[in-house]
Chains A and B, each alone.
Chain A
Amino acid sequence: QVHLVQSGAEVKKPGASVKVSCKASGYTDTSYAISWVRQAPGQGLEWMGWISAYNGDTNFAQKFQGRVTMTTDTSTSTAYMELRSLRSDDTAVYYCAIQMETLVPPDYWGQGTLVTVSS
């Protein structure tokens, strides 16, 4: 069973950056991708981008291009998502989710990381 464990809640000021980690276990193959999806309070799921653990390829939603970086460390099976120039409307729960096959939506999800942006 795949298990994703994310880093803890963060409180940031507007203009700052946040970096969230997501450690995978229970899956030894590196041919997977990690999507990052966020959910603002009371809202639906918003896909931000994905990164391939196999070759580091990325694809970002246009809305986040230039403001987000996604990386992976295959030695520790950990993915990272950094969002810069934070605004108050970036306040949300950020989820990592694993795609164990190509061209299909994510399977298993992390527990979520609450990022609060407030002055």
Chain B
Amino acid sequence: QSVLTQPPSASGTPGQRVTISCSRSSSNVGLNIVNWYQQLPGAAPKLLMYYDDQRPSGVPDRFSGSKSGTSASLAISGLQSEDEADYYCATWDDTLDAPVFGGGTRLTVL
């Protein structure tokens, strides 16, 4: 069981807006800085969002991140077929002194 909880799947049609949530299992513990990764089929994870809501160079502004208290969200607007991938959130766990990952969300573009 992952420390961070994500829905196992999400879907949308081209052009739609989709949101993927990421919440801390221990609801009384806030989230530290959250990163999001996109993993295309057969590829390594790629940094999609860092410091909760910052996009690395080259990531389209269709992707946005937010965080409030014990949960974070990744939103994808103007959904495109190439967005079909697995998405993972991650944060730092102060007790473990380690990064912890969500279980991943498989996004399907219908």
Contacts and interface: CB of A to CB of B under 8 A. Distances in A.
18 contacts: A44-B88, A44-B101, A59-B97, A95-B45, A104-B33, A104-B35, A104-B50, A104-B92, A104-B99, A105-B90, A105-B92, A106-B47, A106-B99, A107-B47, A108-B47, A109-B37, A109-B46, A110-B44
A11 interface: no
Given A45-B101, A50-B98, A107 B46 contact: no
Contacts of A107: 35, 47, 50
Interface string A102-117: 0111111111100000
Interface string B27-46: 00000111101000000111
Contacts of B98: 47, 49-50, 59, 61
Interface of B: 2, 32-35, 37, 44-47, 50-51, 88, 90-92, 94, 97-104
A45 B88 CA distance: 8
B35 A105 contact: yes
Contacts, number: 63
B88 A111 contact: no
Given A44-B101, A47-B98, A95-B44, A106 B88 contact: no
Nearest to A103: B92
A111 B100 contact: no
A72 interface: no
Contacts of B32: 103-104
B91 A105 contact: yes
Given A46-B101, A104-B35, 20 more contacts: A35-B99, A44-B101, A45-B90, A47-B100, A49-B98, A50-B99, A97-B45, A103-B32, A103-B33, A103-B92, A103-B94, A104-B51, A104-B92, A105-B33, A105-B35, A105-B90, A105-B99, A106-B47, A109-B37, A112-B44
A106 B35 contact: yes
